[in-house]
Structure 1
């Protein structure tokens, strides 16, 4: 077997195993690639010598990264967030660059080295931050909007830095001439691409798309991306700048989202290789000798960068709590930092030990970020005294709004699904109270007189203030399994008998959510497919009764609560006192039924059907006569009101 092929197989095996481990512990795959490079590189185990060919190939990973950045370049979004992007974002990047330039001059290094290092340290990880904020439902919160706005400016700042760094290694006047020439080239290239490119791009993509060939579409995509990158390189600029411009041009066409999906495998694969090559450059001997330098840079990256961002956010009018949360989210280094450091290394702008220490510090800062964000609430409460008052005021507002509510429904999330549910509850004269994390949505809905306030339903204090102890039901109206699991955990601890209905996108997490205590899980895809099937059958001439019967059978098989409800397709099911209804009974520690088999309790004699038994970590569908009831079990019963009252007495007090 050739040496290069064995090295490639070793690289692939190490990458797959490490990235799988990163996924299991919920760390970004990028860190796995960096670790693989460090482990198998020439300065650790030495399994693979640093390869010039691999490095050149990895450069295309940066090309595709910049291409996707161009695709996401959205003038409308920049305009809407211009105060945050060009105010807060520009102040953060400019402040970090000036600070590092000052430090470099103080240790007798050049301002060009300070610009390169400051630009790298100013960057944060867009992928990591957006994922963490999304998981915590904080993208629409004030600190989430600040973080996204700063990240947008950081991404834009990469473009001029990519242009400037290659020419900063020129001496004295030659550097100024090179910068002026680069600026002239950029103006010419932008003029030609944005004028001619926009006129040619849409018709050309239309022509290719009409051939209905996915292979041809992909070939054309690679041709356009790499072709424009090659043109900018010919003009003396970088490949990455050309890829960014290509992304901007395609973003203006209707093929943007298709292109983004098609290019992702190439980008992720080659970008992974780029991070592996970055890891391979780390010399553990040098890092061990200069651990103090790694520590200094890590202090600049985490505490100092967090403090700087928090201070700038406070200067722009944010509250202390919002400012600190913004800083905690953005304190780490980012993907583009490695790109800029690679350019600085190739141009000899930074000494090799400083380059090594900076790369190591960025990796450590990214490893620390998930833990910092996870504990950010506790840190903010410790550092910002006013945050206690703000939290107390918010909880007080929620409690006042719900003080008179009894038997209401708590709706977590006030998007389209939450609003539709709220309208139906209003028509049925059932009170509801909604919680949402989008301040603009809350403001508009509140102005319209609707019962919605700003609050995170995944927090115990907020749920209690929303009247969880007095509520009849709790509904998670947004499809986010991670957040729903938190809410289910809290609801189960506080009120195990309270029915919780959860919305999810598909059926992947249905069992997981039910085992966590959900009374029912509604999957969007299933309900959408049922509506699709019913319309299709009716348009094919199938009688309405047959269609309703078919849909009913599917729902009876899928949803536990629907079983046994329907006696006929045309039966009038208007609410009245004699009709069966659902009722939940929580077996507290002194309940008579604890320790007895379900079959030994004569509920059938009362015409009561046990629909489900909810128990922690047990599927809700396991209802059998030999099931021994335990403390904190929640029984969901179906029957008429009088019979349900009698069954509750038997279960709790005995015959």
Structure 2
């Protein structure tokens, strides 16, 4: 095989193994990170020997680390950190220091490491928790906005921020004992000088550069510019001895306060995910399953020490800050694992020969085990607390406290607002109407030139593509009162509608249609109201003429409302062609669609579509029904399902899976 193809072949092997492992982990309801590690282990030198961590794969995994840290910096919220500064800065810093002392101290005193610098590095590795796993568990349990959920995230923010400091300072511990002091001083001096320069660069240069990139209107140039900024600063910090990861993290921090940060993050995330997967799979390449089996008892003890030790430290800290024992226990048992960024520190330690291979193997095994256990702990903790609440002596300790009420009272987030997507001619008119009527709103648009009006009027806005789930979450679509989509692109309109309703199924969405064929499709996808500008112009012109002809105002208004309520069907040109099945195929192009036969014994037989409530229960939309030799396109809610019907269904892969299950076992409606 040609040498130039070796990298491509190795990438396919690693990514294929990671994707397979991640899929299996996901189906088993485990963190996909574990799947990446296992996938790498299977094809690594200790497994099938298909790939070795050498040369280009290692370089690409370093790019993954850089993008991982860059995204972390962009997502960092100084505002959130300051809002929770007491428990975040005080409690988070104390948790890191105490965990570092406990982990490093136990390892040094037990002979696990030979020197104090190694012990400090090991303690730092153990002090970090997994933001990804904890946040996913909180979202699944709808506990992000609870007191314990907010405390967990506050402590995790401080841990993530401390990673940059650790990456800059801890490498100085590799120096001989008599030079460690001066090495630490030099490292700190370099860090402060770099951070000072970065502060000025981020304050004056980065906003200007990003605005120039945005004004080109080219998404490709914007992405390239962001990547050059990230990797360029990472290479600079590597050149001055602070490491690639430190520079990438600071580059993200520089961008985090720029108004285009969310759009930049949305563009970088897919690349970050691919290269970060390479990084985690490359860690798996180094895992020796035989070694883990031979040291299984040691791993069990390490997992117990780490999880119990971190849980006790964190619980005592949160309790010491005045929160009830129930909250303290939830936080302590929620962030007592070792996180994904610990791999970054452990890899740095191994590259500097601080960690021998056996210690690195134990760390990787312990981390994987704690990540596996965490979701179960978070699920079991509420049951344990209910048991404790039945004990009279524990009730005063578990009762809510004033500090808990004050903690939640400080939270201020936009709610009950109208989201206007698209700030073109239609969007601007709509925004003006809402603005002068005093309705709170937020605008999403990716045209920099049009946003100056919003800045001048101090109207909240987000720059970027509204079809991005990330931007929709930032816009708090789940808390919005309504949404109006006035985009010029039909595909972007459909994607925005689908993704907004996937986040908030009950959202009242008004959509602008571009052509006749879109009207019924947009209704079927869940829009409450679809407006076709050409038809609206015709209706207004017709109303004006009828009024001039002497028709009564009430009668004219009723006629217009009749056409609108009928979704313009009675005035559609070439109506027969519009209802043809060929038109359906054109309309659903680009969407996940499939024909499903209706089982003979299905309980759906005999129900109409309104009673079946398929879209609400599965997220899918029935676009057409084939019955014998006829096709009924865009069926209305009163259409009754019959034996032998074949249903054309549109939805994402997960929704299709839900629909297949729904056909076999319909979900009971609340």
**TM-score, scaled relative to structure 2:** 0.64
2:90 to 84, 87, 90: 87
The answer to whether the 8 A contact 1:321-1:384 is kept is no
Match of 1:124 in 2: 129
Contact 1:38 1:280 in 2 (8 A): yes
Residue 8 of structure 1 pairs with residue 28 of structure 2: no
Paired with 1:633 and 1:30, the residues of 2 have a C-alpha distance of: 32
Aligned to 2:31: 28
Residue 316 of structure 1: how far off its partner (Å):
1.5
User: CA offsets, 1:91-124, max 9 Å, x none?
Assistant: 2111100111221231243221222111111111
1:423-438 matched pairs, under 5 angstroms: none
**Is residue 66–residue 244 contact of structure 1 (8 Å, CA) maintained in 2?**
yes
Number of residue pairs matched by the alignment: 479
Q: CA RMSD in A?
A: 4.1
| Pair 1:327 & 2:340 matched | no
Counterpart Cα distance in 1 of 2:85 and 2:359: 35
* Residue aligned with 2:264, SS: helix
Equivalent-residue separation in structure 1 for 2:667 and 2:198 (angstroms): 67
| 1:207 lines up with 2:212 in the alignment | yes
Structure 1 moving runs of 4+ over 4 Å: 383-394, 414-419, 477-480, 505-510, 523-532, 534-540, 542-547, 613-626, 632-636
CA deviations 1:512-555 (Å, max 9, x no partner) are 99xxxxxx963544679555627885467365656633542359
Does 1:270 pair with 2:270? no
Which of 356, 359, 375 is 2:361 aligned to?
A: 356
Q: Could you list the runs of 5+ residues in structure 1 that have no partner in the other structure?
A: 395-413, 420-476, 481-504, 514-519, 557-594, 600-608, 627-631, 637-655
Aligned to 2:380: 375
- Residues 130 and 337 of structure 2 are in contact (CA less than 8 Å); yes or no, is this contact kept in structure 1? yes
Pick from 276, 284, 294: which aligns with 1:279? 284
Matched, 1:549 2:562: yes
Structure 1 residue 522 corresponds to structure 2 residue 506: yes
Distance 1:205 1:621, change over 3 A: same
Name the SS of the counterpart of 1:57 in structure 2: helix
Local SS of the residue matching 1:318: coil
Equivalent of 1:42, from 45, 52, 66? 45
Unaligned runs of 5+ in 2: 401-412, 419-475, 480-495, 513-526, 544-556, 570-602, 623-636, 644-665
SS in 2 for 1:375: helix
Is it true that 1:77 corresponds to 2:76 in the alignment?
A: no
Q: Choose the corresponding residue for 2:318, options 291, 305, 313.
A: 313
Deviation at 1:255, TM superposition (A): 1.4
Post-superposition offset of 1:183 = 1.2
* Alignment partner, residue 57 of structure 1: 60
Is this contact kept in 2: 1:537–1:547, CA < 8 A? Answer: no
Return closer, same or farther for 1:598/1:176 CA change in 2, 3 Å cut-off: closer
SS in 1 for 2:611: strand
| 1:601-643 deviation line (CA, Å, top 9, x unaligned) | xxxxxxxx997378999999785799xxxxx99999xxxxxxx
**Separation in structure 2 between the aligned mates of residue 376 and residue 635 of structure 1, nearest angstrom:** 30
Indicate how the Cα distance of structure 1 residues 322 and 44 shifts in structure 2: closer, same or farther if over 3 A, else same.
same
Give the conservation status (yes or no) of the 8 Å contact 1:57–1:270: yes
Q: Is the 8 A contact 1:613 1:621 kept in 2?
A: no
Change (3 A) 1:377 1:364: same
1:189 pairs, out of 183, 191, 194, with 194
Partner of 1:107 in structure 2? 110
Q: Equivalent residue for 1:221?
A: 226
Match of 1:135 among 140, 162, 166: 140
In 2, Cα distance between equivalents of 1:191 and 1:624: 68
Does the Cα contact within 8 Å between 1:613 and 1:633 map onto a contact in 2?
A: no
* SS at structure 1 position matched to 2:506: strand
Describe the shift of the 1:52–1:295 C-alpha distance in structure 2 as closer, same or farther (beyond 3 A).
farther
Counterpart contact for 1:67–1:225, Cα < 8 Å: yes
1:336 aligns with 2:349: no
* TM-score normalised over the length of structure 1: 0.65
8 Å contact from structure 2 (residues 58, 282) kept in 1:
yes
Match of 2:294?
A: 289
Judge conservation of contact 2:609–2:641 (CA < 8 Å) in 1: no
Counterpart-to-counterpart distance in 1, 2:339 and 2:9: 32
Q: Hey, what does 1:459 align to over in structure 2? A: none
CA displacement 1:388-437 (0-9 Å, x = unmatched): 9589999xxxxxxxxxxxxxxxxxxx994699xxxxxxxxxxxxxxxxxx
- 8 A Cα contact 2:389 2:395, kept in partner: no
Rg: which structure is higher? 1
SS in 2 for 1:64: helix
Question: What is the Cα deviation at residue 173 of structure 1?
Answer: 2.2
2 CA distance for matches of 1:307 and 1:35?
A: 30
